[in-house]
């Protein structure tokens, strides 16, 4: 087996062996063009989400740990450089550029909101201050990490909210965009409030609680349900959860009563879950099995869970797969990573693009969040980073200096707890599943003013 | 850097170092229950797609190469087994089970449709014949691989069809579900007909053509477009594509004429692409730059491309990101992997489940495809594998025996060509972007009959 030699890289990207080529080609052609034009100035880039996807009124930041480990470990192996040199596009690039790449390390400074922070459209969540080339090359990996994990953590938060305290288990590995994606889906789902995952590798990689018992095939492999239930229970006497819906859920529930109160739980995976859970609960209760849990799964999402609970379905735990792990109703996040300043030795130049519907805000920025007396969030202002006298607390904090992670990162359980606190501070009217109100995010007057000036200069 | 020691595993899963835990927990608890109940019979499982996602009238199979390498390399390291033993759920499982896992190899037989095959809902595309435990453990990885790559290859085929011969480049790495997913998205997009990708790592891993030049940030990093265009062209004199929409597309096109006919292309990334491409084409043509290509990108999908071409937009190449690489309009495929027979030494037992809306078809099956005299596909029949006298050609072929890949797999270019031929044989009425006809897939009379008998026995 191939074993990791480097714990840092493994944390960054268990799915990858080498990091240098984990990018789009144009990042590397731009790098060559900067290099051969001796453009070694520093620049400031900011990562933000252009607009909230349909059906989302807030986002939960996730994926920062992977980003920071990637930045810490990023380099180009000889093999990777040989590959680049074999591409005809690089035919006229100087050999010095490839020597530069061979010695490449990320040396920049990074500011970010902590993982688990609740944030909104347009807010910079990561700020990179580094030489142009370094800041550019990392764009693709940063976006792929933050976009995806944020999507899943945000979806998880909605589902957890809908479940009103009942546990949500992430069940979606098989529907993820490759098994590698499943590992990060499980991580982000946990960060967003899930109690665990069915994904064993994610369990091991991130120390997540893992859940799961048996599938329909196990029932079908025996002559009848009774036989299969007993075969399972014999091997897992302390943790059996019986799957009831292979043939006839109510009949199977009657068989389950043979196990009495030692039975951990039963799972329903199809049919009218509201009706069936009530039937099954009655059968279990009548047999004195008040402690046996009912777990429901099968194409669930936040809306279906809310409806089940509204109907009084006595379900204790939910397993949620596809809808959570692919964020099916909003499977892509419009994360962007934009140049906002070029820093020359003697001056700083603000930068913006005017592309139709995609114009950006120039200048290095900070996000300030105001809270009411009870601690609930009341509105955010995006200001220039050097504007004084903003109210509230600044959300971007320095996490990396000269390519090194400054403080030990919180562990995932701490980030989960931080996300939980953040979500508690977001008033319920912004968290409604349908027709939520939209949280106020504004720009400082000075930023608006200077942006208008710059826009007029450019037009 | 961590280097692969084993080429087979790298091909299987560049994103993973160890394979054993790339599964759901219940696969391993079921494995333990089978083991401790001495259930070592062989079984037949089939992988199929329950129903076509909205907006899809056919699918293109992709991901088989990864699956076969995974099966060839699958094993459990000592570290992985230690992790499993640390989980309380396994407390009562026999130590022999873990010794068994330590020596685990997949020893089964696999039949599959070749990558690039056009297929439809309900058709088994992979058949696994192996001891129950082996056939069960692999489910999660098989589904995650086939579901995702098939989604992307199928979406790519639609986009390529819409582009009527103009090239499509996969541009979506940043919006993929982690960078690991992006590698497979690029592979599957190429298999489905794209000419290449912006993803450098995928280019290296799978030998794909890579494309890309510069982003808005490169323009913005200079004082004006002219300066940045010249800085880029100096370094890439033979392959410059200039991005025009940072400030004002038409003004930038005029600047681009300074490079004359040596300019490879220009790219438009926002605004009214139909209007702008005509303006830009006129400016270039007037400057004698008939050979300079126009590339369009920016939230494109098959519908927008079809509309642009209908409007006569003179676009030569399209870069497609999010919509392709996440299959945004249908980001999950309902792939299922179902037990259909248990094979005892003296008999074979057909298996099916009756779960509401999820009932399955029992028996080991084969898919037969009939073609018209001109070679176009005219309809499929799903029959029991031992039924003789079916018309047409059988689609499932044996690809693995005793855990070994039988014949060298086709290389990706061959699979791309095979997919192209398959798509040519699918009549246009099934490929329409909107309101396509639905291709006929039926079951053999004998299979329907025996299924009804089995269903009556189970009820």
SS3 for B199-267 is EHHHHHHHCCCECCCCCHHHHHCCCCHHHHHHHHHHHCCCCCEEECCCCCHHHHHHHHHHHHHHCCEEE
Q: Which residue has the higher pLDDT, A349 or B355?
A: A349
> Is the dihedral angle over the CA atoms A84, A90, A91, A93 positive or is it negative?
negative
Indicate the pTM of the whole model. 0.96
Whole-angstrom Cα distance, residue A217 to residue A295?
18
B125-171, pLDDT tens digit by residue? 999 999 999 999 999 999 999 999 999 999 999 999 999 999 999 99
Count the helix, strand and coil residues of chain B and give each as a percent rounded to the nearest 5: 40, 20, 40
Whole-angstrom Cα distance, residue B408 to residue B11?
13
Whole-angstrom Cα distance, residue A279 to residue B186?
48
Confidence at residue B17, expressed as pLDDT on a 0 to 100 scale:
63
Confidence at residue A4, expressed as pLDDT on a 0 to 100 scale:
34
| A170 touching B (Cβ < 8 Å) | no
Report all structural domains of chain B as residue ranges with CATH numbers, in order of start.
Answer: 7-152+330-458 (3.20.140.10), 156-325 (3.20.20.70)
Please report residues of B whose CB lies closer than 8 A to that of A319: none
Q: Which of B220, B239, B240, B262 to mutate to test the interface with A (most CBs of A within 10 A)?
A: B220
Q: At which residue do the structure tokens 């036989």 appear? A: A227
Residue B3 predicted with pLDDT over 80: no
| B369 touching A (Cβ < 8 Å) | no
Q: Do A15 and B18 touch (CB under 8 A)?
A: no
Confidence at residue A18, expressed as pLDDT on a 0 to 100 scale:
79
Q: Which residue of B has its CA nearest to A233?
A: B33
Q: Do B174 and A144 touch (CB under 8 A)?
A: yes
CA nearest to A136, candidates A45, A228, A62, A267: A45
Residue A196's DSSP bridge partners are A169
How far away is chain B from the Cα of A373, in angstroms, using its nearest Cα?
Answer: 39
Q: Do A176 and B148 touch (CB under 8 A)?
A: yes
Binned at pLDDT 50, 70 and 90, residue B389 comes out as confident
Does an H or E element contain B377, and which? Answer: strand B377-384
Structure tokens belonging to residue A340: 């906002």
Confidence at residue A12, expressed as pLDDT on a 0 to 100 scale:
43
Structure tokens belonging to residue B22: 């790339």
Whole-angstrom Cα distance, residue A295 to residue A315?
6
| A458 touching B (Cβ < 8 Å) | yes
CA nearest to B32, candidates B98, B76, B83, B86: B98
Whole-angstrom Cα distance, residue A382 to residue A366?
6
**Is B316 in contact with B287 (CB distance < 8 Å)?**
no
Confidence at residue B2, expressed as pLDDT on a 0 to 100 scale:
31
Q: Do A26 and B214 touch (CB under 8 A)?
A: yes
Please report residues of B whose CB lies closer than 8 A to that of A199: 24-25
**Is B127 in contact with B387 (CB distance < 8 Å)?**
no
Q: Do A179 and B140 touch (CB under 8 A)?
A: yes
Q: Do A231 and B198 touch (CB under 8 A)?
A: no
Mean pLDDT over the full length of chain B: 94
Residue B257 predicted with pLDDT over 80: yes
| B338 touching A (Cβ < 8 Å) | yes
Would you give the DSSP letter of residue B396? Answer: -
Q: Do A213 and B75 touch (CB under 8 A)?
A: no
How many contacts does A have with B, using Cβ atoms within 8 A? 393
Whole-angstrom Cα distance, residue A436 to residue A52?
13
- In the sheet that holds B196-197, the strands lie side by side as B196-197, B167-170, B317-320, B293-296, B265-268, B241-243
Q: Which of B5, B24, B139 to mutate to test the interface with A (most CBs of A within 10 A)?
A: B24
Confidence at residue A359, expressed as pLDDT on a 0 to 100 scale:
85
What is the residue-level pLDDT of chain A in tens, covering all 459 positions?
233 334 444 444 444 567 999 999 999 999 999 999 999 999 999 999 999 999 999 999 999 999 999 999 999 999 999 999 999 999 999 999 999 999 999 999 999 999 999 999 999 999 999 999 999 999 999 999 999 999 999 999 999 999 999 999 999 999 999 999 999 999 999 999 999 999 999 999 999 999 998 999 999 999 999 999 999 999 999 989 999 999 999 999 999 999 999 899 999 999 999 999 999 999 999 999 999 999 999 999 999 999 999 999 999 999 999 999 999 999 999 999 999 999 999 999 999 988 877 889 999 999 999 999 999 999 999 999 999 778 899 999 999 999 999 999 999 999 999 999 999 999 999 999 999 999 999 999 999 999 999 999 887
Q: Which residue of B has its CA nearest to A196?
A: B25
Structure tokens belonging to residue B77: 């390291």
B83-112, pLDDT tens digit by residue? 999 999 999 999 999 999 999 999 999 999
What secondary structure does DSSP assign to B10-52, as a single string?
HHH-TT-S--TTSSBHHHHHHHHHHHHTT---EEEEEEEESSP
Confidence at residue B4, expressed as pLDDT on a 0 to 100 scale:
34
| A92 touching B (Cβ < 8 Å) | yes
Residue B371 predicted with pLDDT over 90: yes
Please report residues of A whose CB lies closer than 8 A to that of B199: 24-25
Please report residues of B whose CB lies closer than 8 A to that of A13: 179-180
Residue B80's DSSP bridge partners are none
Q: At which residue do the structure tokens 């509309």 appear? A: B307
CA nearest to A422, candidates A375, A388, A365: A375
């Amino acid at each position: 087996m191939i074993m990791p030699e480097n714990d840092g890289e493994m944390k960054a990207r268990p799915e990858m062996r080498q990091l240098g080529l984990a990018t789009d080609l144009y990042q590397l052609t731009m790098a060559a063009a900067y290099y051969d034009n001796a453009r070694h100035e520093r620049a400031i880039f900011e990562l933000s989400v252009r607009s909230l996807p349909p059906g989302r009124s807030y986002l939960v930041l996730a994926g920062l740990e992977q980003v920071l480990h990637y930045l810490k470990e990023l380099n180009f192996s000889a093999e990777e450089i040989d590959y680049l040199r074999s591409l005809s596009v690089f035919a006229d690039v100087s050999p010095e550029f490839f020597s530069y790449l061979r010695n490449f390390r990320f040396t920049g400074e990074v500011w970010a909101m902590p993982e688990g922070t609740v944030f909104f459209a347009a807010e910079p969540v990561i700020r990179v201050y580094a030489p142009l080339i370094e800041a550019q090359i990392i764009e693709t990996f940063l976006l792929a990490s933050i976009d995806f994990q944020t999507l899943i953590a945000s979806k998880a938060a909605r589902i957890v909210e809908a479940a009103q305290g009942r546990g949500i288990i992430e069940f979606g590995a098989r529907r993820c965009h490759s098994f590698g994606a499943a590992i990060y889906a499980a991580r982000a789902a946990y960060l967003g409030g899930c109690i665990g995952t069915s994904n064993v590798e994610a369990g091991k990689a991130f120390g997540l609680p893992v859940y799961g018992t048996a599938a329909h095939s196990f029932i079908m492999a025996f002559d009848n349900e009774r036989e299969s239930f007993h075969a399972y229970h014999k091997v897992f006497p302390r943790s059996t959860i019986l799957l009831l819906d292979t043939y006839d859920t109510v009949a199977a529930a009657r068989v389950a009563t043979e196990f009495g109160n030692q039975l951990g739980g039963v799972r329903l995976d199809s049919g009218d879950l509201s009706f069936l859970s009530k039937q099954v609960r009655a059968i279990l209760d009548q047999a004195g099995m008040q402690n046996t849990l009912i777990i429901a799964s099968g194409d669930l999402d936040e809306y279906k869970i809310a409806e089940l609970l509204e109907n009084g379905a006595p379900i204790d735990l939910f397993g949620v797969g596809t809808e959570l792990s692919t964020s099916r109703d909003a499977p892509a996040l419009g994360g962007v990573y934009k140049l906002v300043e070029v820093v020359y030795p003697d001056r700083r130049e603000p930068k913006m693009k005017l592309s139709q519907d995609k114009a950006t805000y120039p200048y290095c920025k900070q996000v300030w969040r105001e809270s009411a007396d009870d601690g609930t969030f009341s509105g955010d202002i995006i200001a220039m980073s050097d504007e004084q006298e903003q109210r509230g607390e600044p959300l971007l904090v320095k996490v990396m200096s000269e390519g090194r992670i400054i403080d030990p990162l919180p562990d995932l359980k701490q980030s989960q707890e931080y996300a939980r606190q953040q979500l508690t501070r977001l008033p319920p009217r912004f968290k409604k599943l349908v027709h939520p109100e939209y949280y106020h995010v504004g720009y400082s007057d000075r930023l608006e003013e200077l942006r208008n000036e710059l826009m007029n200069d450019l037009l």
